[in-house]
Structure 1
């Protein structure tokens, strides 16, 4: 006897687009995509047995999701709460197990939900749910480094005080170098941004050399004074300091810079000593995060360098100069908000935390 074909399922208005999206999306559960496919085939008039064979389920399963959609629409395709008492999950035990490093026998550096699940007697989705609930991310790591500068407190107080209360009639400039900026040229033409498609570039590239960007950020306005040099020795740094001095004639300048060797060469110290209107404030060792020009270096890296394609070092330098020119037209002040006490308290809490977790 021939199989009877069930009538085509009538979709509710607007549901077809969502069902098609569910079948294509790579981030939805496989079960959700399967149910959407069953309903779409049923709406196209395909018989239940053919749908079952195509999707790889039983015919009663096809009937189930047809009926559920007919009764409740898209909401009917969601999982329903299972009968009986909800299973109790020992969240504390899962968290405690997560915070203990994996045994050496596993040969891994951190837990995954699938590795931990059998050890705590639950499925990996439950482990992942507990991690999400409590903000635990074993796969992620951050970096830190404590400054060993014996003058840490004095330097933090000096530099941050300069940001929060700059001297009257003076200019505060954050100075540093961004070295080894590579002029990278992609091996094939970049495919531009289009609706539905991100910009695409080849993973490989040709190096055409490097340049060093020396920059001075005026904290109060965001104005940047910059020079590109082939090298970053003390000779180039001294040339840059003279360039900055010419850019701010007859103004008292307070320069924030790090302890890099080129900043402390005898020639540099002698020139600074001969220019009494220029005052230097050093950040602590391993404290470059106090220098606001580092924030600006991050901006130019993201907006002009990282995705740039440069056929030569000269091309790269021209792009950097163009960015600085454009930046100075749309500049904005760089505002520091944390007080020295807040920063030092946070450092102290971090030190205590690290000390308490040592084995």
Structure 2
């Protein structure tokens, strides 16, 4: 197909360099096939016989080797087979009489197959998965009139770790070196609320993560947003599901808070997780905190910096209506809104 494209573009009068850039190949490759085309015509685009010994393992055998690599190493145990085990299995089943592990590895690489690698995924058993995701995505795209949308969660077990010995600075050709030993000074829990449309952050560090701590944080949120409806997006943690506690909380604040729960095993729907990722990279990774107070100061500084020039995340996932044709709706009291198509 690449050779035919070279021939068609050359017929249109395009230069060798332009053809090479358009097809992502070298100038020498384009020049070679243009020369073959001029000398031999269309037949020159066909493959010619190559010198050397023909393939000892045919295409059918290669497919069987790829199929063997997809099988588990043990039916009720280890899943990923080694190259040596695949070689033994291929010979035992008569796929080939002999093959080296390096030859098998090249066949697997040519088939873009890596049987030793495993990528995990987590299925959500929530029967209302699509409805909940669509509702939350609608809130992310546009807040109901006169209301705000907050993404709230807790990051627990944040360790205040002090490096026992100072790092050695990086040098040319050598990465930064770090001593393995460290000193623990305790842990903190960060509870944060992200205004998804303004980017403003409210954060609070506590020694523990209890129901009382969460209620106290929500009182801070109520003070920060004293008027209007407040839509809260958070996960299914037991402290979030304490209906009696939040009924009492809502009663104290004129029923202004509406709670939206992400589907089970779907923390990616909660935008606050994006903020926690940035926090981990900029405050915790490769850091040395000499005390809990030091960790708190740096955490509070991070929140203050975010609020100095708040910037919301650009949420690109629009929900499942594009794949299923389902209408995307969210409820605000008796009003039901439907975003325009294309948003």
Q: Name the TM-score, length of structure 2 as normaliser.
A: 0.69
Q: What is residue 271 of structure 1 aligned with on the other side? A: 249
Change (3 A) 1:96 1:247: same
Which of 291, 295, 311 is residue 332 of structure 1 equivalent to?
A: 311
List runs of 5+ in structure 1 lacking aligned partners.
1-80, 346-359
Change (3 A) 1:341 1:116: same
Change (3 A) 1:133 1:245: farther
Contact 2:130 2:320 in 1 (8 A): no
Q: What is residue 281 of structure 1 aligned with on the other side? A: 260
Q: What is residue 86 of structure 2 aligned with on the other side? A: 116
Which of 96, 102, 113 is residue 73 of structure 2 equivalent to?
A: 102
Structure 1 residues 78-97: aligned runs within 5 Å = 83-88=52-57, 90-97=61-68
Separation in 2, partners of 1:245, 1:194 = 51
Q: Does 1:253 align with 2:224?
A: no
Q: What is residue 28 of structure 1 aligned with on the other side? A: none
Q: How far off is 1:85 after superposition?
A: 2.9
3-state DSSP of counterpart to 2:240 = helix
Separation in 2, partners of 1:132, 1:247 = 57
Contact 2:188 2:205 in 1 (8 A): yes
Deviation readout 1:253-285 (Å, 9 max, x if unpaired)? 211011111123323331124322322111122
Q: Does 1:243 align with 2:213?
A: no
Separation in 1, partners of 2:51, 2:78 = 36
Separation in 2, partners of 1:344, 1:288 = 21
Contact 2:189 2:206 in 1 (8 A): yes
Contact 1:219 1:335 in 2 (8 A): no
Q: Name the TM-score, length of structure 1 as normaliser.
A: 0.66
Separation in 2, partners of 1:344, 1:270 = 40
Contact 1:234 1:268 in 2 (8 A): no
Q: How far off is 1:91 after superposition?
A: 3.0
Contact 1:176 1:214 in 2 (8 A): yes
Structure 1 residues 1-359: aligned runs within 5 Å = 83-88=52-57, 90-103=61-74, 108-120=78-90, 121-265=98-242, 266-275=244-253, 276-329=255-308, 331-341=310-320
Separation in 1, partners of 2:86, 2:179 = 38
Separation in 1, partners of 2:282, 2:223 = 28
Separation in 1, partners of 2:66, 2:307 = 50
Q: How far off is 1:100 after superposition?
A: 0.7
Q: Which has the higher contact order (CA 8 A, sep 6+)?
A: 2
Change (3 A) 1:142 1:104: closer
Q: How far off is 1:183 after superposition?
A: 0.9
Contact 1:211 1:313 in 2 (8 A): yes
Contact 2:132 2:261 in 1 (8 A): yes
RMSD across aligned C-alpha pairs, in angstroms?
2.7
3-state DSSP of counterpart to 2:314 = coil
Contact 1:189 1:201 in 2 (8 A): yes
Q: How far off is 1:330 after superposition?
A: 5.2
3-state DSSP of counterpart to 1:269 = helix
Size of the alignment, in residue pairs? 264
Separation in 2, partners of 1:248, 1:167 = 15
Change (3 A) 1:135 1:226: farther
Separation in 1, partners of 2:258, 2:272 = 17
3-state DSSP of counterpart to 1:208 = strand
